[in-house]
Amino acid sequence: MKLASFVAIISLMMLYSNGFAGNRMNIIPEPNSILQNEGSFQLSRKTIIQSTSALRSLSDYLASQLKFFTGISLKVVTYSKRSRPNSMVLEIISASKATNPEAYTLDIAPNKVVLKARTQEGLFRGIQSLLQLVPLKGTNGVGDISIPACLIKDAPRFAWRGLNLDCVRHFMTINFIKRYINLLAYYKFNVFHWHLTDDQGWRIQIKKYPKLTEIGAWRNEGNGEKYGGYYTQKEIKDVVAYAKSRFITVVPEIEMPGHCQASLAAYPENACVPGPFQVGTQWGVYTNIYNPAKRSTYPFLENVLTEVMRLFPSHYIHIGGDEVPKTEWIQNTLCQELMKEKNLQNVDQLQSYFIRKIQAFLKSHGRQIIGWNEILEGDGPATGAVVQSWQGIDGAITAVKKGLYTIDSPSNYTYLSSSPSDLPLDSVYSFNPIPPGLTHSQKKLVLGTEASMWTERAPQDDVDSKMFPRLLAISEDAWTDPQKKNYSDFHKRVKEEYSRLAYLGVDYGLEQRAMAYNSEFDKLEKRFVVSIQPTQPGVKLRYTIGDTLTIENSHLYQKPVTIDTTNTFIGQAEINGRLVGNPVKLSFMIDEALDSKVTLKYPYSPEYTGGGPEGLVNGIRGTSNFRDGLWQGFKGDDLDATVKLKGKTKISQIGAGFLQSSSSYIFMPSSVTFYVSKDGKDFRRVGLVENYVSEKNPDNIRKDFVVHFRPRDVRYFRIVAKNIGVCPPWHPGAGAKAWVFVDELFAN
Ligand code: ACM
């Protein structure tokens, strides 16, 4: 048989066996075994859900979810010996303790659906697969709700499949958190890691220390308003119980010994330096940390953790431990005395002394710590700790080599707070939580992985669009065997999932950089033509010419846009009426130097060509990112450029644009001198502009240096920008060659 006809027959068979066209077994995360069978189960008002009374709440949950997805209310009946046709049966089976507690078997046959597992947890995971196979209300015609017949045997690859949600940088409401718990359950996650305390806020009520929330939960915003909020113990208990009913463990994170400025604002006596302190108002890491040598500190933290343990039954309590700037410990007399007394050689060992003390306290209450990979510093934690690796996978490797458990969640694969342009869906999907090169027993110490959503740039309303669809890739990284993973198949399922995400009310965002763009210079008309193309189906592109883009001030992109004055083109993606992703900004300059000829005395660096020889007169301005390909860099040398205009031209100003990014050794030129000439031989100096931007300014600064003069006819102009030579003595790169970065030379 020819391959083509063979394929055609197979497709025909699949078409009929599925009961309706176009159906795929669209389950995320992909189950570890699916056998598709002939026919389908027809769900109707007459279908019943059957189980023993012990499983009544699971059956009710299934009924409520089926109602949500299909609009049909099914009757739930307590199990009678003979299960009836046209029923969905939930059943606990006896199996060896070695069987994965989350394993399930889902057998969908034309007359019956049977879901079996060793535990209720397993049944709950299986219910999610069933729900994902049910067609959505309104998509299949009235009365036709067919579920494709199949046999699924499934179990997760990892026991730890989590989401870390930062509710400090932005406060998230209880309803929002419950909504996420439902979404996590639907994609078979089982851990909600709740980031509750940090420099910028304390969000958990602690009855013994009311000031933690009276003071620590609120920060001053730039506009004079207070921002914040906290969760009462009652609300927390409610969330924990809600999550439990969805077989999700809530793991609280209480940060120490750093990331604690909000705590110190409330109780400054635990600090290394005298207060008072303000709840952090800037993003980034604060240098004020707990003092491990103060008497007050341990009872305070232990009392806090005691209340935390009462609220959270989780075996693991996350104590942060990341990004601790230890300068205060070096300068603090009490810390130095403690280090002498305990024979600690350095502040890293002081950190492990502190971590181990907290770990021992939690252990005495039957709990164990999780800490970010920095808890490995110094002597590391004691046995039993879980190391969560975020700075790459090295922390995970070091941990398992020491016999410690790890959650492998490197920022470059799992931080969904990164934009989809920097961390696209396919990269997230390519992540394997087991680092290469581990032995069999080391692999067993890898508990799993987590996505992280840090919310500095994500108030509640923006979280969905950052999290989805990439959270789906994490769900599969954590659940599905690597041999079963296949990006192109996953991507097809994601594309079908968009309608379901919309049905679930998820404001999903981008898979990757939203658009490809291209700009061409039309020499004849002296104008730019910009075209943009979406990179994801279902995404519209909007654009505007100006400083900012909103839905209201922008146009739907339909055809290339012409720009014939100095102006900025902004393009941004839109999904279902919402702007998503970062805008693309292209700043154009229309002037007399455009498309002329440039001669350089010193060559530009091959690393930063700014578009090559004509890059300085291409009319496209650089952005604040020095790696954007639009900046030309000169290492240690001056920029000394002569521009030959197209013909004799009357001009009255000349200028050049520069960038300073001092942490990258890029500084403003110390001065820029301008010359003009009629013949390219005799040059007249027309001005000199001194730099006044401080070399110490840490921001990325763009600045045009410009001279004005009485209008005159010229054919050439020359610009000499003096490089400061080497990085100044105070700079970390003192003595190393400094850069001059220029994006454009212009004349008018
Ligand atoms: C972290 O991102 N500082 C854990």
Residue 81 clears pLDDT 70, i.e. is over it: no
Tens digits of residue pLDDT in 634-672: 999 999 999 999 999 999 999 999 999 999 999 999 999
Place of tokens 């692999």: 443
Mean pLDDT for the stretch of residues 547-571:
96
The DSSP secondary structure of 486-539, one letter per residue, reads -HHHHHHHHHHHHHHHHHTT-----SS-SEEEEEEEETTTTEEEEEEEESSTT-
pLDDT at 147: 94
- CATH 2.60.40 domain range(s) in the chain: 513-585
**Residue 138 near residue 68, CB atoms below 8 Å:** no
Mean pLDDT for the stretch of residues 609-627:
93
Ligand 1 center–CA 388 separation, angstroms: 10
Q: Whose CA is nearest to atom 1 of ligand 1?
A: 322
Residue 13 clears pLDDT 80, i.e. is over it: no
CATH of segment(s) 14-154:
3.30.379.10
Percentage of residues of the chain with pLDDT beyond 90: 91
679 is catalytic: no
pTM reported for the whole predicted model: 0.88
User: What CATH architecture applies to the domain 513-585?
Assistant: Sandwich (2.60)
Percentage of residues of the chain with pLDDT beyond 70: 95
> What angle in degrees, to the nearest 10, is found between the helix axes of 174-186 and 233-245?
20
pLDDT at 224: 86
The three-state secondary structure class of 106 is strand
323 is catalytic: yes
Task: Work out the burial of residue 605: count CB atoms within 10 Å of its CB; fewer than 13 is exposed, 13-18 middle, 19 or more buried.
Answer: middle
Ligand 1 center–CA 498 separation, angstroms: 30
Tens digits of residue pLDDT in 547-557: 999 999 999 99
Q: Catalytic: which of 91, 121, 323, 704?
A: 323
Q: What are the C-alpha distances in Å from 154 to residues 30, 188, 257, 476?
A: 9, 12, 41, 13
Contacts of 586 (CB under 8 A, 6+ apart): 517, 519, 530, 568, 569, 570, 571, 620
> From its phi and psi, is residue 56 left (phi > 0), alpha (psi between -120 and 50) or beta?
alpha
pLDDT at 726: 97
CA gap 460, 100 in Å, rounded = 35
pLDDT at 613: 85
Tens digits of residue pLDDT in 408-459: 999 999 999 999 999 999 999 999 999 999 999 999 999 999 999 999 999 9
- CATH 3.20.20.80 domain range(s) in the chain: 160-503
Query: Helical H runs in 162-246?
Result: 174-186, 211-214, 233-245
Tens digits of residue pLDDT in 182-217: 999 999 999 999 999 999 999 999 999 999 999 999
Mutate to test the pocket of ligand 1, among 370, 373, 454 (most ligand atoms within 8 A of CB): 454
pLDDT at 20: 37
**Residue 292 near residue 280, CB atoms below 8 Å:** no
Ligand 1 pocket, Cβ-based, cut-off 6 angstroms: 322-323, 372, 390
Please state which of the four CATH numbers 3.50.50.60, 1.10.1040.10, 2.60.120.260, 3.40.50.620 is assigned to the domain occupying 589-748: 2.60.120.260
pLDDT at 17: 36
**Residue 714 near residue 683, CB atoms below 8 Å:** no
The DSSP secondary structure of 644-709, one letter per residue, reads EEEEEEEEEEEEEEEEEBGGGTB---SEEEEEEESSSSS-EEEEEEE--S-TT--S-EEEEEEEEE
pLDDT at 22: 42
pLDDT at 82: 67
pLDDT at 141: 55
Q: Catalytic: which of 30, 154, 198, 743?
A: 198
- CATH 2.60.120.260 domain range(s) in the chain: 589-748
CATH of segment(s) 160-503:
3.20.20.80
For the stretch 678-693, what's the b/e string if a residue is b when 16 or more beta carbons lie within 10 angstroms of its beta carbon? eeeeebeebbebebee
- CATH 3.30.379.10 domain range(s) in the chain: 14-154
Phi, psi for residue 305 in degrees, rounded to 5: -65, -30
Tens digits of residue pLDDT in 267-306: 999 999 998 999 999 999 999 999 999 999 999 999 999 9
